[in-house]
Amino acid sequence: MAILVTGGTGYIGSHTVVDLLNHDYDVVIVDNFVNSKPEVLNRITRITGKTPRFYEVDVCDEAKLEEVFKKENITDIIHFAGLKSVAESVAKPQLYIDNNIGSSKVLLRLMTKYHVHNIVFSSSATVYGVPDHVPLKESDKVGGCTNPYGQTKLDIEYLLKDYAKEHNDANIAILRYFNPIGAHSSGLIGEDPQGIPNNLMPYITQVAVGKRDHLNVYGSDYNTPDGTGVRDYIHVVDLARGHLFALRKLESKPGLVIYNLGTGKGTSVLDLVRAFEKANDIKINYVICDRRPGDIDENYADCHKAWEEMGFKTEFDIVDACRDSWHWQKNNPNGYGD
C-alpha cells in the first residue's frame, strides 16, 4: 500500500512527501535529480524522523521504473516529475515533450500493467493560456498556451482524459497549481533554483540575501490596479496539503476530476515586494523594466470547486509565505549546495 511520488525531491514534491510521512503514508520516491539534490532526502528525514524509500530513476526509463513497480506494492501515484523552465522549453521544446509527456506515457502504461488505479497529476494554471476573465474556473476554456512547457501540461491533461475514457477503474486528479511560494517552517526544505531564478519569489529572496543587486519588475503598464502583473501565490505547504485531499478524494472513485489549487486572491508584483519587506523588515531594491515576453496581466483561481468537492482551502497567506521563504533562504544562502 505505497504512494509512488515521482519528482519527490523537487520543490513541491519534497513538501508533499513531508506531509505524507507526517500522516503515516508509506512513501516511495523516484527522481533522477535533474533539478534537485540528494541532500533533500536527509532534510526530509530530519523534519519527519522517517526515511522514505528512494530510487534514482528517470521516469522515462520504462524498464528501470518497472523494477520499482515489481518491488513495491504501489496503490497510488503522485506525478510531479517534469521539467518546468519556460525559457528552456522555448529553446528545447523536444526535450520538454520527451521528458514531460514521455514520462507520463510510461507511467500510464505501468499503471495498466500493475493495476494501479489512482494518480494525481501536477498541472498548472498555465493551461488557461491568456485568460479573458478572472477568477479562473476549472470549466473555463484552456489552450492558447504561450510556451512549449505549458503545452506539455495541457497535452498530458488530454492524455489522462483519454486514459480515463478507456479505463473505467481509473481515478485521476488533475491539479492546476497557481503560483507556489514559501517553504516549510523548519527552514530545512525550500525552492532551490539553479542559476538565475526565473520566478518572482526566489529572485526577491536572492536580492534579500545579497546575491542579486535588485529585482527587475517586468512591466508597470499591465491592466491591473498598480500596473504590475497579478498572480495567485499559494504557500507551498498549503499546496502540498492539497495533494493529501486529492488522494482522499480518489478513494471515493470519482473517475477524472480537475481542481484549481490557489488562494483565490490576486497579488501584484509590488504587493508581494511590500509584503516581503513588511514580514522580514528588509528593503528590496527594484527597478521597473520592460515586460517579459509571454507574461499576462493577471490570473487567479476560483477555488470553490476544491472546497466544495474536497473540503480543501488554504490556511496561510502571502505574509506567512514571505516569512518562510526568507527563513529558508537565510539558513541556506546557496540552497542545498551548502
Binding-site partner at residue 35 among ligand UD1, ligand NAD, none, CB < 5 to 8 Å by type: ligand NAD
Q: How far apart are CA 243 and CA 241, in angstroms?
A: 5
**Among this protein's residues, is 149 annotated catalytic?**
yes
Least Cβ distance, residue 260 to ligand UD1 (angstroms): 13
Binding-site partner at residue 232 among ligand NAD, ligand UD1, none, CB < 5 to 8 Å by type: none
Q: How far apart are CA 296 and CA 281, in angstroms?
A: 30
Q: Is the Cβ–Cβ distance between 127 and 153 less than 8 Å?
A: yes
Q: Is 155 helix (H, G, I), strand (E, B) or coil?
A: helix
Instruction: Mark the segment that binds ligand NAD (CB under 6 A) among 52-60, 109-117, 221-229, 250-258.
Output: 52-60
Cβ proximity to ligand UD1: between 172 and 215 the closer is 215
Q: Find, among 263, 17, 325, 310, the residue nearest to 134 by Cα.
A: 263
Q: Is the Cβ–Cβ distance between 268 and 309 less than 8 Å?
A: no
| Site membership for ligand NAD, residue 124 (CB under 6 A) | yes
Binding-site partner at residue 198 among ligand NAD, ligand UD1, none, CB < 5 to 8 Å by type: ligand UD1
| Site membership for ligand NAD, residue 316 (CB under 6 A) | no
Q: Find, among 209, 180, 156, the residue nearest to 326 by Cα.
A: 209
Q: Find, among 335, 320, 239, the residue nearest to 17 by Cα.
A: 239
Binding-site partner at residue 294 among ligand UD1, ligand NAD, none, CB < 5 to 8 Å by type: ligand UD1
Cell numbers 473517475 label which residue? 255
**Which residues, 54 to 93, sit near ligand NAD by CB under 6 A?**
58-60, 80-84
**Which residues, 176 to 235, sit near ligand NAD by CB under 6 A?**
177, 179-180
| Site membership for ligand NAD, residue 314 (CB under 6 A) | no
Cβ proximity to ligand UD1: between 52 and 197 the closer is 197
Binding-site partner at residue 12 among ligand NAD, ligand UD1, none, CB < 5 to 8 Å by type: ligand NAD
Helices (H), 194-317: 200-208, 236-251, 269-280, 304-310
Q: How far apart are CA 41 and CA 38, in angstroms?
A: 6
Q: How far apart are CA 143 and CA 133, in angstroms?
A: 14
Q: Grid coordinates representing 321?
A: 509565505
Cβ proximity to ligand NAD: between 30 and 47 the closer is 30
Rule CB under 6 A: which residues touch ligand UD1?
Answer: 84, 86, 124, 126, 149-150, 179, 198-200, 203, 215-218, 229, 231, 269, 292, 294-295
Q: Which of 11, 149, 177, 222 is catalytic?
A: 149
Q: Is 177 helix (H, G, I), strand (E, B) or coil?
A: strand
Least Cβ distance, residue 117 to ligand UD1 (angstroms): 28
# residues near ligand NAD by CB under 6 A: 29
Instruction: Mark the segment that binds ligand NAD (CB under 6 A) among 30-38, 108-116, 289-297, 320-328.
Output: 30-38
Q: Grid coordinates representing 16?
A: 508533499
Q: How far apart are CA 332 and CA 325, in angstroms?
A: 11
Go through the chain and tell me how many residues it has: 338
Q: How far apart are CA 236 and CA 239, in angstroms?
A: 5
Q: Is 180 left (phi over 0), alpha (psi -120 to 50) or beta?
A: beta
Q: Which residue is nearest to ligand UD1 (CB)?
A: 229
Binding-site partner at residue 216 among ligand UD1, ligand NAD, none, CB < 5 to 8 Å by type: ligand UD1
Least Cβ distance, residue 193 to ligand NAD (angstroms): 8
Q: How far apart are CA 135 and CA 128, in angstroms?
A: 11
Residues that bind ligand NAD (CB under 6 A): 6-7, 9-13, 30-36, 58-60, 80-84, 99, 103, 122, 124, 177, 179-180
Residues marked active site are found at 149
